[in-house]
Amino acid sequence: MHRAVVRIGRLIPACAALFAAATVHAGGAEYLLPENDDNVIGTVTTAFAQHEDTLLDVGRRYGVGYEEIIAANPGIDPWLPGEGTEILIPTRFILPDAPREGVVVNLPEHRLYYYPPVKPGERPVVRTYPISTGKMDWKTPIGVTRIVSKQEKPNWYPPPSVLAEHEARGDPLPKVVPPGPDNPLGEHAMRLGIPSGAYLIHGTNRPAGVGMQVTHGCIRMFPEDIAELYGLVPVNTKVNLIDQPTKVGWMRGTLYVERHPLLEGGADPGPEEYERLKEYVEVVTERRPVDVDWAGIEHAFRTQSGVPAPVSTPKASGKGAGVTVTVDESRLPVM
């Protein structure tokens, strides 16, 4: 794959002036964490489809999963976008509202963030990767755990529920699937310390499904991404599994809202969720020198594109410009 070459050429010119700097490797993208209170990283860019590309091909080249690339490009045929079609690459992210340590997995976003330990004299960074998560009947659990073991070229021991599922549809599985092209764990697996021990962060032999809610509860990654993360993350690393379909963040004085569809099979919070978002925005912008684009917030919430949308503009000179901002976090509504 030539993802690194292509992405560097598109990202660096914009990032040098306006965004947190990004370094792109064969696996994921690495971003410097903002030094101020900002929490938006990366940039949105575009690419042009080649003759035989699918949207999945384009997304993988740029480190973007299935749902992300589809939601960012409504109206484009995912299987045959057509040569020369301009594709939006959603590589701007609002960092999840969670401690910036170890691994953070935001399930509805289908994305993993890794905050490596900060080395002396260096600025903190974050690496991010697209993932697949558990489908409706095999939900990926929420909560804090740790990586308890790692294994290269793992055997796969299908759990009883998966054996029964395959048996029912006339496609029985062996009790042990050895390493190789038929092993859905791919070449690398990291076990989570969740009771039952059945939950893994692993590779795949079917990369087209990365970025969807399709697994039996595990976290699935592109082969090149898990190979990189496997080498970076030691045993006992903290893993925080969260459910944040709506994220709010700041970048250089502009407010952004990022909205993803709810997890299938999860509880529907109802219309109160949007009301909580409006209350949250009112609190965090109360002493900021900005005018809020409420129509833009509603559009971002309803369309659920997963792309951070700018939803504020600077106030005119003399109307609050230069205000020192202090937010009382105890007043923030629960999102």
Active site residues: 202, 218
Instruction: Name the residue among 114, 63, 53, 56 with its Cα closest to residue 92.
Output: 63
**H runs (alpha helix) in 129-222:** 160-168
CA atoms within 13 A on the CB side of 249: 25
Amino acid present at 47: A
Helical spans, DSSP H, in the chain: 3-18, 55-61, 66-72, 160-168, 223-232, 272-285, 294-303
Could you tell me which residues come within 8 angstroms of residue 68 by beta carbon, excluding any fewer than 6 positions away?
A: 59, 90, 110, 111, 130, 211, 306
Separation between Cα atoms, residue 301 and residue 265, nearest integer Å? 20
